[in-house]
Amino acid sequence: MKSENKNNTMPLCQPERPIPAPPMLRFSPTAWAKLLFLRDQGDTEVTGFAIAAAEDLLLVEDICLVPQTCMSASVAMDDQAVADFFDEQVDRGLKPGQFARIWVHTHPGNWSQPSSIDEETFWRVFGRTDWAVMFILARGGQNYARLQFHVGPGGDMDIPISVDYRRPFAASNHQAWKEEYLAGVHQEVLVMPREVNAAGSLAKQGHAVPFGADADWFDWQMELFGDPDDFQEFQHAVKP
């Protein structure tokens, strides 16, 4: 007679691993209100950098403008002004992942897809970063967000956006936003250089050149964009 093995137990099923939520670009209500306000101040594009929360690098808490020359289909930021802006953020104790990874700009029409100039600018300025986001908000409310990363094989993906009302947020400040717009946004005929080396001489002559096309840009951008630890910080700081 066979003895019954009381120690026999049915194998336990391994629980399925939860599928992580896809990344989402989120704006605080104040940052979103400011972006809408800046978008509607004129008939040209407006561009700036998003300031992200330290604990969540895809949560935008502010939009900052730098001196720029704007047209209906393009924007040229002053490279020295960008460098100064980056220095100011470092002095505030922010890390590059908080202020130098999310490029925000508007389109005056109803089309939010990136133009060829947008794509060239995004690649030229952020092509050496570990990760970056391009966000476009059109006058008609359409929007576009793309996350790209250059770690390992690299890649990119379109990501959704939302306004996050779950956290405390400040009130609107139209007067301060208006002053920031008037101080930084100028309209001028944009001169497109054929070569990057030509951009430096154009800038010296007082012409606007595409953001990141000035030859001096390459002398200092790697100081901020070359930190290999930033992508690990991004992975740990992005929350669903």
CATH no. for residue 165? Answer: 3.40.140.10
Residue that has been written with the tokens 């990141």 in this structure = 212
pLDDT tens-place string over residues 126-172: 888 899 999 999 999 999 999 998 888 889 999 999 999 999 999 99
Higher-confidence residue of 72 and 10: namely 72
> What separation in angstroms does the CA of 6 have from each of 10, 164, 181, 236?
11, 55, 78, 46
- Inside any domain, residue 216: yes
Q: What is the pLDDT of residue 128?
A: 84
How far is 141 from 110, CA to CA, in rounded Å?
7
Q: Is the pLDDT of residue 25 over 50?
A: yes
Q: What is the sign, positive or negative, of the torsion defined by CA atoms of 208, 184, 112, 114?
A: positive
- Inside any domain, residue 160: yes
CA torsion, ordered 140, 51, 46, 181, to nearest 10 deg: 110
Q: Is the pLDDT of residue 8 over 80?
A: no
- Inside any domain, residue 11: no
When divided into structural domains, the chain yields a total of: 1
Average pLDDT (219-238) is 51
- Inside any domain, residue 110: yes
Q: What is the pLDDT of residue 20?
A: 72
- Inside any domain, residue 8: no
Average pLDDT, rounded, for the chain: 81
Q: Is the pLDDT of residue 123 over 50?
A: yes
- Inside any domain, residue 176: yes
Query: Across 65-74, 173-182, 197-206, which has the greatest mean pLDDT?
Result: 173-182
Q: Is the pLDDT of residue 37 over 90?
A: yes
- Inside any domain, residue 47: yes
How far is 194 from 183, CA to CA, in rounded Å?
29
Average pLDDT (53-75) is 92
- Inside any domain, residue 18: no
Q: What is the pLDDT of residue 13?
A: 62
Of 23-27, 122-126, 141-145, which gets the smallest average pLDDT?
122-126
Domain of residue 152 covers: 25-237
